[in-house]
């Protein structure tokens, strides 16, 4: 999927259908002098329902749908015939979509299961026909109820990707290159910062036909909390990842310092993200000789305070060990 087709945030105005009016019809038939009231009920207005669809990966299909309206209910008619119910309007979304009230920004619901439905705008009830109001003292009521208006609400749909591993790192740390090597994904790779402007997903094929999903998130820079770079806009995509893989290049001026900066930006976005399992991959390590690597290990063992390993996506070094460690971390509770 191209970057232009990845849409993870849309605002929509939804309106449910109005209920149909009840009928005030009086029965008229040959040889029946006083048939009495026989007006039917109005039909219910259509609902607007958000539904999870595991085959969708983005909100692109909703990019140009700013207004969604359900059908109005039909009016009642003679012989106690009820009006037709308005057809419901379904908004299909990928799993991991959060529904917010646009005005208050309050989370209304989260869709995390395939086929799961949530009613965001309930259709108005249909009015009752005049036959409901017949009594011994009022045998010919000539009135009925109007239908109840539908509901209108502005909602925001916000996608949080459901991936197992989230890649975290500064721009040009090698995240896209790693994703392209260990999965079949084809992210944009170039020798300048912020080549990744949208999250990319890739499926890692592990031993015995097992798989896990990795999400490449656009690079974070120091000060992202204040809006520098592209800010924290895409960090929501790793809120549901169980494991975070920090990628720091071997030629970084200070690996421990860069790791602490990344941790601080995550902490400022959402402190709970620091509760996730973490692994550090020192990328571009093919430029290190054995002596320099040993020297770096002594330094990292003292200052890093987190598990790490050396990898090179281009030279295909350490990738099998990386997959093994990630699989271990993802399945440690079940083992």
Is there a binding annotation on residue 280? Answer: no
Is there a binding annotation on residue 286? Answer: yes
Cα–Cα distance for residue pair 275/288, rounded to 1 Å: 32
Is there a binding annotation on residue 18? Answer: no
Q: Distances from the Cα of 14 to the Cαs of 20, 43, 102, 105, 152, in angstroms?
A: 19, 20, 11, 16, 6
The length of the chain is 335
Is there a binding annotation on residue 169? Answer: yes
Phi first, then psi, for residue 214 (nearest 5°) are -115, 135
Is there a binding annotation on residue 172? Answer: yes
Is there a binding annotation on residue 30? Answer: no
Is there a binding annotation on residue 174? Answer: yes
Is there a binding annotation on residue 58? Answer: no
Is there a binding annotation on residue 96? Answer: no
Is there a binding annotation on residue 26? Answer: no
* Three-state DSSP state, 121: strand
The answer to whether 68 and 15 are in contact (CB under 8 A) is yes
Cα–Cα distance for residue pair 165/241, rounded to 1 Å: 5
Is there a binding annotation on residue 171? Answer: yes
The answer to whether 180 and 214 are in contact (CB under 8 A) is no
What are 277's two structure tokens? 């399992």
- Can you list the positions of beta strands (E) in the chain? 9-15, 48-52, 67-69, 89-93, 97-101, 107-111, 117-121, 152-159, 165-169, 200-205, 211-216, 243-249, 277-283, 308-310
Is there a binding annotation on residue 313? Answer: yes
Residues contacting residue 321 through CB under 8 Å, at least 6 positions apart: 309, 311
Is there a binding annotation on residue 274? Answer: no
What are 53's two structure tokens? 């669809």
Is there a binding annotation on residue 196? Answer: yes
Minimal CA–CA distance to 57: which of 25, 88, 97, 89?
A: 97
Is there a binding annotation on residue 271? Answer: no
Is there a binding annotation on residue 195? Answer: yes
Is there a binding annotation on residue 312? Answer: yes
The answer to whether 175 and 188 are in contact (CB under 8 A) is no
Is there a binding annotation on residue 149? Answer: no
Is there a binding annotation on residue 251? Answer: no
Minimal CA–CA distance to 215: which of 203, 204, 201?
A: 201
Is there a binding annotation on residue 16? Answer: no
Binding residues: 169-176, 194-198, 216-219, 283-286, 312-314
Binding residues for Mg(2+): 176, 196
Binding residues for GTP: 169-176, 194-198, 216-219, 283-286, 312-314
């Amino acid at each position: 999927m191209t970057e232009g087709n990845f849409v993870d945030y849309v605002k929509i105005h939804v309106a449910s259908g109005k209920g149909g009016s009840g009928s005030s019809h009086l029965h008229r038939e040959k040889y029946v002098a006083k048939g009495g009231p026989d007006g039917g009920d109005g039909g219910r207005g259509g609902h607007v329902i958000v539904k999870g669809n595991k085959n969708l990966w983005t909100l692109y299909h909703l990019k140009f749908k700013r207004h969604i309206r359900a059908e109005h209910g039909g009016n009642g008619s003679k012989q106690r015939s009820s009006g037709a119910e308005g057809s419901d309007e379904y908004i299909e979304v990928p799993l991991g979509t959060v529904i917010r009230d646009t005005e208050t920004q309050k989370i209304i619901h989260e869709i995390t299961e395939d086929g799961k439905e949530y009613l965001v705008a309930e259709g108005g009830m249909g009015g009752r026909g005049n036959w409901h109001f017949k009594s011994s003292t009022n045998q010919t009521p000539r009135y009925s109820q109007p239908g109840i208006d539908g509901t209108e609400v502005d909602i925001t749909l916000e996608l949080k990707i459901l991936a197992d591993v989230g890649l975290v790192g500064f721009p040009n740390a090698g995240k896209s290159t790693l994703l392209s090597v260990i999965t079949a994904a084809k992210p944009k790779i170039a020798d300048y910062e912020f080549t990744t402007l949208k999250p990319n997903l890739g499926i890692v094929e592990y031993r015995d036909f097992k798989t896990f999903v990795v999400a490449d998130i656009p690079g974070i820079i120091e000060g992202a909390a204040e809006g520098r770079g592209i800010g924290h806009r895409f960090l929501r995509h790793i809120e549901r990842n169980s494991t975070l893989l920090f990628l720091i290049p071997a030629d970084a001026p200070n690996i421990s310092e860069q790791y602490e900066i990344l941790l601080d930006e995550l902490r400022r976005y959402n402190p709970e993200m620091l509760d996730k399992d973490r692994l550090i991959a020192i990328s571009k390590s093919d430029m290190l000789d054995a002596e320099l690597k040993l020297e770096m290990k002594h330094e990292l063992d003292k200052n890093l305070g987190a598990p790490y390993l050396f990898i090179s996506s281009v030279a295909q070094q350490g990738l099998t060990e990386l997959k093994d460690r990630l699989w271990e971390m993802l399945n440690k509770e079940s083992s």
